Chain A
Amino acid sequence: MILIVAEHTAGKLAKSTLEMVTAARESGREGPVTLLVLGQNVAAVAAEAAAVADQVLVADLPALAAYNAEVWAAATTQIAQEGEASVVMIGGSRSGREYAPRVAVKLDAPYLEDAIKLSSNGAALQAQRYTFLARVTETVEADGTVVVTVKPGSFAPAAPAATPGEQYDVELDLPAPRVQVTGRSVEKSSRVALTEADVIVTGGRGVGNPENFARYVEGLADNIGAGVGATRAVVDAGWRPYAEQVGQTGKTVQPKAYIALGVSGAVQHLSGMGKSKNIIAINKDAEAPIFKVADYGIVGDINEIVPALIEASRK
């Protein structure tokens, strides 16, 4: 079987899970596409999972109420071994890329990390992935049972099948978590999630100050129904929460349109948004590297152009 560990938040299956189902079907590996749902009170998630997968394995346990790398790795490994999985697919999220290497070590399996494309080359599973801050696309392959993480946004989400897959409850033997979470700050936004947004408006240092960020970046985003992103510099300066950060150490996005306001375009930022379908840049510095990757660029003052843009987009 092809084992996929479902990603879900707040009782809903994440888009990344649907993308992994597509990745599994494109991988060329045989066997039922099996979604493993780990969590507590996950009946609704399991039902959603059944709509897209050949079968669903559900571990609904108090011990799985909160994510822990060692617990998730143990659960995934156990199911992969019992089901003789030929591919173990894990989301390319922060948490996924944290426990997937553990699963690879436990299974003594090769690990293909952050795949953007999957195919079979004879017995080998072949993956494409970005390297060198997303400037190079590399192709790697491995034989036998392979652990793969899948980069969010790289595959089309799978549509529900005609007949839902069967659901089975599974028993797990889990280790006690050693990392204790002593505090938590969840960054919530009423706007569309960055990794799921079709249009993103991002602000950089060039926006000037937090008030301008709210006025221009959020103002424009809300006007056109876009998500809000920020550069590392803006997050480090405390203007914006980390959840909005786009780039090497933040989120990777590839929306239909990425509108960068006052963003200079450092390599680390470009690695997080350079694959966007359309890039629009507004910056007063004509030499800013962002213009090199822009489809549309305006050299000018944010303070003048963005209000005009907000005004014009209202009409």
Chain B
Amino acid sequence: MNILTLVRQVPDAEARVKISGQNVDLEGATLVIDGMDEYGVEEALRLRESGAPVEQIIALAVGPKKVEDALRTSLAMGVDRAIHIETDEKFDAVTLSRVVAQVAQAENVSLILVGGQEADWDSQALGAASAERLGWPQLTWTNELKIDGDTITGRHDVDDGNESFSAPLPAVVTTQQGLNEPRYPTLPNIMKAKKKELRKEDPAAYNLSGKVRMVGAEIQTRARRNTMIDGKDPQAAAQQLLELLRNEAKVIA
């Protein structure tokens, strides 16, 4: 079986976000693989290492030229080959799921791994929308995953706790922190990755047109009081805080 792992590139979580005009401006920001997707890459490798009959692990990215770096990192981690659909245009997840579904079919994929939530657009939709287009089941927020023949089993978080599951392949699984600890690419593997296939594809082949229009973006920061209380005298500090909470913020009785 083949596994497709989706890779997105996002600004480092600690990076400052700025807006120019009506959009978020990423000029100069350090870009990294979306952490949530990295768990997916790692999990694909672990599934193969644990003896699951995985033939090929393919990484897919849609985005500008720079996204190549994220794909190279996945190749250096151990992914077999990569597909880059190069475009500067930004598409919403439901639109993008067309690409995922088409690539999954063309590459004879049985399992798609994708991050549970995007660190940039905060969307959780790509996995589910891709699963729907393919007519596959999906498991979201997975923190344990095994392949057993044509079945996947594992554990994932739900609204009020967590559930163990079993589902038939092919399927889509969304990944998150806690599933595994992604490996660092070693120097020999980084060198090897340079020789691996990174295929470019034309976005025009996928006939993408989004239905969601971007109107604007702004950074709204709530003004905070930033009142600091000296903690050297615990009793006095506690007393002062309670008074402020009662009389100024009026949040406790």
List the B side residues contacting A109 at CB < 8 Å.
211
Smallest CB gap from B215: residue in A: A139
9 A-B pairs (CB sep. < 8 Å): A97-B124, A98-B128, A101-B132, A131-B217, A179-B138, A243-B161, A297-B227, A299-B228, A308-B237
Indicate if the CB atoms of A101 and B225 lie closer than 8 Å. Answer: no
A residues near B, CB below 8 A?
9, 67, 69-70, 73, 93-95, 97-102, 104-106, 109-114, 121, 124, 126, 129-144, 178-187, 198-199, 224, 232, 236, 241-243, 248-249, 256-257, 266-268, 274-275, 277-280, 282, 291-301, 304-305, 307-309, 311-313
A137 and B219 contacting across the interface, CB-CB below 8 Å = yes
CB of B176 within 8 A of CB of A249, answer yes
Distance (Å) between the CB of B246 and the closest chain A CB? 10
- Given A104-B129, A112-B212, do A135 and B245 touch, yes or no (CB 8 Å)? no
B5 at the A interface (CB under 8 A): no
Question: Which residue of the partner chain B has the closest CB to A193?
Answer: B160
Task: For A73, list chain B residues within 8 Å (CB).
Answer: 132
* Interface residue total, chain B, C-beta cutoff 8 A: 80
Main secondary structure of the interface of A (DSSP, over half): mixed
Residues A136 and B17 in contact in the complex (CB < 8 Å), given A126-B215, A279-B224: yes
Which among A69, A99, A104, A268 has the greatest number of chain B C-beta atoms within 10 A? A104
Given contacts A9-B160, A70-B137, contact A133 B229 (CB under 8 A): no
When distances are taken between beta carbons in the complex, the residues of chain A under 8 Å from B210 are 110
Bound CA–CA A141/B140 (angstroms): 26
The CA of A69 and the CA of B156, in the complex, are separated in Å by 14
* Cβ of A236 to closest chain B Cβ, rounded Å: 7
The interface-forming segment of B42-50, B164-172, B198-206 is B164-172
Interface of B is mostly: mixed
Task: Report the separation of the CA atoms of residues A121 and B13 in the bound assembly, to the nearest whole angstrom.
Answer: 33
Q: Given A129, A274, A311, which contacts B122 in the complex, CB threshold below 8 Å?
A: A129
Q: Roughly how many angstroms separate A108 CA and B175 CA in the complex, as a whole number?
A: 26
Decide if B245 touches A142 in the complex (CB within 8 Å).
Answer: no
Bound Cα distance from A100 to B97, whole angstroms: 14
> What are the residues of chain B within 8 A of A137 when measuring CB–CB?
217-220
Q: Which residue of A is nearest B135, CB measured?
A: A70
Lowest 10 CB-CB distances: which A-B pairs, in order?
A300-B231, A110-B211, A183-B164, A308-B238, A257-B251, A101-B129, A101-B125, A101-B128, A304-B234, A102-B132
How far, in Å, is A143 (CB) from chain B's closest CB? Answer: 8
With A137-B218, A308-B238 known as contacts, the answer to whether A104 contacts B252 (CB < 8 A) is no
Is there contact, CB below 8 Å, between B129 and A140?
no
Across the interface, B94 reaches (CB within 8 A) one of A105, A121, A224, namely: A105
Give every chain A residue within 8 A of B167 (Cβ-Cβ).
178-180
Q: How distant is the Cα of A297 from the Cα of B237 in the complex, in angstroms? A: 10
Which residue of A67, A94, A130, A307 contacts B140 across the interface (Cβ within 8 Å)?
A: A94
Q: Which residue of B lies closest to A143 (CB)?
A: B211
**Which has the most chain A C-beta neighbours within 10 Å: B133, B167, B212?**
B212
A133-B249 contact in complex given A94-B159, A138-B216, A140-B214, C-beta closer than 8 Å = no
Report the minimum CB–CB distance from A269 to chain B (whole Å).
11
Q: Among B93, B166, B252, which residue has its beta carbon within 8 angstroms of that of A199?
A: B252
B161 and A185 within 8 A (CB)? yes
How many Å lie between the Cα of A297 and that of B227 in the bound state? 6
Q: Is the CB of A275 within 8 A of B153?
A: no
- Chain B residues, Cβ within 8 Å of A292: 224, 226
Residue from B97, B176, B212, B229 in contact with A110 in the complex, judged by beta carbons closer than 8 Å: B212
Residues on A with C-beta less than 8 A from B97 are 101, 105
Binds A, one of B68-76, B81-89, B112-120, B187-195: B112-120
Residues of B within 8 A of A241 (CB): 161
Bound CA span A311–B235, Å: 9
Min CB distance B236 to A, Å, is: 9
B178 interface residue (CB < 8 Å to A): yes
Instruction: Assess whether B139 is interfacial by the CB under 8 Å rule.
Output: yes
Nearest CB in chain A to that of B22: its residue: A139
CA distance A304 to B242 in the complex (A): 15
* Minimum distance in angstroms from B6 CB to a CB of chain A: 14
User: In the complex where A99-B128, A184-B161, A224-B252 touch, is A249 in contact with B117 (Cβ < 8 A)?
Assistant: yes
* CB contact list, B150-165 vs A, under 8 A: 153, 155, 157-165
Beyond A141-B215, A305-B238, list 15 extra A-B contacts (CB 8 Å).
A94-B140, A114-B122, A131-B217, A132-B24, A133-B13, A139-B217, A178-B137, A181-B163, A182-B165, A199-B252, A248-B119, A295-B227, A299-B230, A301-B231, A309-B241
